Every structure is written in structure tokens, then in C-alpha cells.
Amino acid sequence: MKYIVTQRIECVLIVPEGKQLEIDGFIFLRDIDGNNSAKYLQTEVEAHTKEEAQRKASKLFAQFLSKLIILDDSKYILLDYFSVIERNVTTVSPNIPMRINVGNDGNLIKDQYAKSIKNKRLRIRPLQHYSDGINSNDPFDQFRNFYLVLENYLKNRTDITNWIKNKLPTIEMKTDMYNHKITIITWIRHKLSHAKIKNEGLTPLSISNPQDVSLVQKHLPIVQKLAREIIRENEKI
């Protein structure tokens, strides 16, 4: 059985006037209120039940959006609302008067996707970590997700340190409990996640400590840039 699954989405993608925007089998739809921003994402899946269709579509939506995010670092947040119907209707986007919103031109994103991503076999896990970092509002969570991108491509701490130093030769260095030199980026990562669990000899960072938050926010753009760069290098985007 084929089902059409529609999920509410929060983003700044603009759907062209009088059209629905289709990218690689996924359709962005405007809302009936006349706003030209995309409000829904829709696709078709094969499934035995509506519940299975929703599960399949949710995974496909997340993977697809993680690819879009790497193009321009915009947020694409899937919301809880779902609609699942049997495939017996034609999907249309009504031609209605619009209130023009400022956002990303959907046609430009579609063109970029076709040139850089479509038909490529991409590793989804690092893209999803990057997507989670972009969509999060918590700087600690953002930092962890961007660093996880590096961990997906590089085998160990030494490889990560050497790769970062190659990209940023003057980056600040720290010493871990084993007297190994590590970058400030790895040092922050350990203080965020491993200080207690792996007995790294570091005092964990706290979201309630303004100095800790300031430290993470200072280096957040750096680790994001590194994450984006390593994805583009490895995935040839």
C-alpha cells in the first residue's frame, strides 16, 4: 500500500508563488493562510499500515533535511503534526494570495541540491549530527554534535588533533591528564561529555555557569566551521 505522509515543518524556505516545491521526491507545501514560507513536508512511502508509513517517512524526512542543512546552515525542524493518507489523491498546492516573507528562495536551494547532492551516496550519520547541531538552541548540545561530526570521520583523538592543527595551526593547545597535547576544541569536548564518565581529570562544564557558557560559545563557530569543512571534504559537496 502506498501512503502520502505530510509532516509540519519549521523553516525559512520560500515556496515560489502558485507552486509546490519538489526536491528529490520531497514536496514543500505552503499553508492555507497565504504565507509563502514552507509549512509542510510531504513524501510518498510504501507500507502495510499508516503507523509504518509514518515511521518510514519520519526517517526519510530527517535524512533529506540533513542534506539540505549542509547547503546553507538553515534550520529545518520537524514538528509533531502528521497526516497519513492512502495514495488515492493528487497532491496540489492551491494558488492563493500570499504575504511575502523573507527567507531562502526554494528554487535556489533546489538548484544547489541538484548540483551538489542529488544522486550522491552520502554518509548520513555525520550529516545528522551536523543537522542536530544547527537545529539545537543549547550551545553545549550544539558543540557536542559538531564535534561528533569530526569523530565520525577521524579514528581517534590523535587524528582529530592533527587534523584540527593542520586546519588551524595557531589554535590554542591544552594538556590532558596524560600530558598529551590536545586542542582547545577537544579539551572543551571532554569537559562537556567525558570529564566524569571517563575520569579525564577535568572539571565538567556547567550550563548554569556563565563563564562555562561563554567559553563554549566563543569556540562554537570554530567547531561548526570544522565540522562543515570535513563533511564537504569527505562527501565532495
pTM for this prediction: 0.86
pLDDT value of residue 92:
44
pLDDT value of residue 100:
46
Q: What is the pLDDT of residues 82-96, one digit of tens each?
A: 899 997 654 444 444
What does 140-209 look like in DSSP terms, one character per residue? HHHHHHHHHHHHHHS-SHHHHHHHHHHH-TT--EEE-TTS-EEEHHHHHHHHHHTTTTTT-S-PPP-TT-
Q: Which residues pair with 99 in a beta bridge?
A: 35
How many CB atoms are located within 10 Å of the residue 142 CB? 20
Q: What is the pLDDT of residues 49-63, one digit of tens each?
A: 999 999 999 999 999
Tell me the chain's radius of gyration from C-alpha atoms. 21
Residues 21-29: contacts with CB under 8 Å, at least 24 apart:
21/106, 21/107, 21/110, 22/110, 23/64, 23/68, 23/106, 23/109, 23/110, 23/113, 24/64, 24/113, 24/118, 26/60, 26/61, 26/64, 27/91, 28/106, 29/91, 29/93
Query: At 204, is the pLDDT very low, low, confident or very high (cuts 50, 70, 90)?
Result: confident
Inter-residue contact 111 to 192 (CB < 8 Å): no
Tell me: pLDDT of 187 over 80: yes
Inter-residue contact 221 to 208 (CB < 8 Å): no
Average pLDDT of the chain is 89
8-state DSSP, 36: -
Inter-residue contact 149 to 143 (CB < 8 Å): no
How many CB atoms are located within 10 Å of the residue 154 CB? 17
Tell me: pLDDT of 186 over 60: yes
CA–CA gap between residue 148 and residue 163 (Å, rounded):
14
List the grid coordinates of 161.
Answer: 588533533
Sequence ranges of the domains in the chain: 2-116, 124-235
Q: Which residue has the cell 526517517?
A: 59
